[in-house]
Structure 1
Amino acid sequence: MYQEERLIAILEHIRQHQRISVEDICELFQVSRDTARRDIVKLEEQGQILRTRGGAIWRGLNKDVSGYGDRLQEEPAVKRAIGRLAASLVQTGDYLFMDASTTVMNAAEELRTDGHVIVTNSIDIAGLLSQRPGITVHLLGGVVHPRHRFIFGARTLEMLRDYQADKLIIGTSGITPDGLTNPFEEEGYVMKEMMRRSDQVIVLADHTKFGLRQFYRVNGLESIDILITDREPEDGMKEALLRHDINIMIAKGENEP
């Protein structure tokens, strides 16, 4: 195995287990302790992990945030599968909150029901669904974030407090046993208020979001009813989700059984 392949595998292990030791690397990849240490140094130089005594841990705070257009292109098949499953949970006549996540955008594209009232802070979801017959869209007012295409601010929250919805379909930048996090505090306020005003909260998160912590904690796991993802979470994360009675749903690709 080349070093580049091994580094990717090490990062995946840390993503799932939050840490890795030199001994783990030696055993998993059949390499010497010197090679394992060089791998850890390389990943630290790349800013991917934090080196600890005898191993490495995931960086405590993830600060990497791609632009909206770039995020739309990340894992498109996975996001489409998650969005399709989320849309299948929507019943004719449901009133919905939808946030500005790119995965939620996929859910909006997969909607096949009507009679909906949609409240959103996403410019793109509003533009898409406003063209659909049988759907009424309320686009929240406020300040537009130009790079990430969500609306936020005091006016946004003021409008939200006048609404109530059957379901919220919401994405997340990171999910840990401590809850959902977001890199932008202002967007986190909007997400928190949407969760407070929904009868059912459906979170969409592909496997890359597990173990990531961003700057602002939106809410704890107790606020979630359903989590839709593309892989079984690792044991610690799964135990935390089940402890809060969250229904974990695994989305399959179009060609998967």
Structure 2
Amino acid sequence: MLIEERLERIKAVLEEHKSATIEKLVEELNVSKDTVRRDLIKLEKQNVVKRTHGGAVLNNREAMIFNYDQRSEKFHLIKEKIAQKAAELVNDNSSVIFDSSTTVEAVIPQLQDKNIYAITNSLTHAKLLAGNEKSEITLLPGKLHKEQLFLYGSETIQKIAQYNADYALLGIFAISSNGLFIHTEEEGLVKRQIALQAAKVIGVADHTKIDTTGFFKVCELSDIDYLITDIEPEEEFAQALEKNGVELILAGH
């Protein structure tokens, strides 16, 4: 396979999967790891990809938008590992605000042995929380987003503002050194208020959300206390986290 063909194939794989490990690319191209690394360096110089530890993601892109079912299925095993780490941070007998993220949803089964007072704007999360006999649940009021099944609007935000919770579990759509972002203002305003109402804000995001952006800014990096992800980020972003007082936690470590 000629180098031009390999580069196009790598771009095609990344377009389809949004990220890929070196092992995945070796399998797809049937070449050596060294060849894949050299090709990724070339694509990075062309500003097409950003190399990560063990692979690459598409560069300078907005985070991808998925419907609820797609978000729920995406990176299932990674979400479980991230969820386990998030649950470890939540103490027994505490209050927790759960946003409508599917990664946050994955945390709920990990909290079955803990007494929690749960507040959420997600119908699916409320139903899942109801399976925990030790939890007490408040479903926030507001307008219903019929596809994503979350509640939003001024009534939702006003109610959130009345709480002083121990923790907030915040699913991250996109994050960079410039802060946290999302694709819609309606959900972003709810997330912003959630981040304001907790003593500790736990941000959860798989590696594809890092160094991406979105239409609406939710908050600054300094507004979260923890970022739990699955792959160690680039040094520049890791330094930004440290500068803003955010503790980085790697799932599976």
TM-score range, shorter chain: 0.7 to 0.9
Specify the alignment match of 2:182 in structure 1.
Answer: 182
Structure 1 residue ranges (4+ consecutive) displaced by more than 6 angstroms after TM superposition: none
CA RMSD of aligned residues (A): 2.9
Once the two structures are superposed, the pairs formed by residues 217-228 of structure 1 within 5 Å of their partners are 217-228=217-228
Structure-2 separation of matches of 1:77 and 1:245: 28
Specify the alignment match of 2:198 in structure 1.
Answer: 198
Q: Secondary structure at the match of 1:167?
A: strand
Match for residue 38 of structure 2 among 12, 28, 51: 28
Aligned residues: 223
The unaligned stretches of length 5 or more in structure 2 are 21-34, 51-57
Contact 2:112 2:134 in 1 (8 A): no
Structure-1 separation of matches of 2:59 and 2:115: 48
Specify the alignment match of 1:170 in structure 2.
Answer: 170
Residue 97 of structure 1 aligns to which amino acid in structure 2?
I
Deviation of the 1:28 alpha carbon: 2.3
Alpha-carbon spacing, 1:75–1:30, altered in 2? closer, same or farther (3 Å): closer
State whether structure 2 residue 97 is matched by structure 1 residue 87: no
Give deviations 1:125-163, integer Å, cap 9, x for gaps. 100111211110101011111121211011101211211
The unaligned stretches of length 5 or more in structure 1 are 14-24, 50-55
Once the two structures are superposed, the pairs formed by residues 15-164 of structure 1 within 5 Å of their partners are 28-29=38-39, 58-59=60-61, 61-62=62-63, 64-164=64-164
Q: Secondary structure at the match of 2:92?
A: coil
Q: Percent same amino acid among aligned pairs?
A: 29
TM-score, structure 2 as length reference:
0.80
Structure-1 separation of matches of 2:73 and 2:14: 22
Alpha-carbon spacing, 1:164–1:28, altered in 2? closer, same or farther (3 Å): same
Alpha-carbon spacing, 1:237–1:153, altered in 2? closer, same or farther (3 Å): same
State whether structure 2 residue 16 is matched by structure 1 residue 6: no
TM-score, structure 1 as length reference:
0.79
Residue 180 of structure 2 aligns to which amino acid in structure 1?
L
Residue 228 of structure 2 aligns to which amino acid in structure 1?
I
Structure-1 separation of matches of 2:242 and 2:169: 20
Structure-1 separation of matches of 2:146 and 2:140: 15
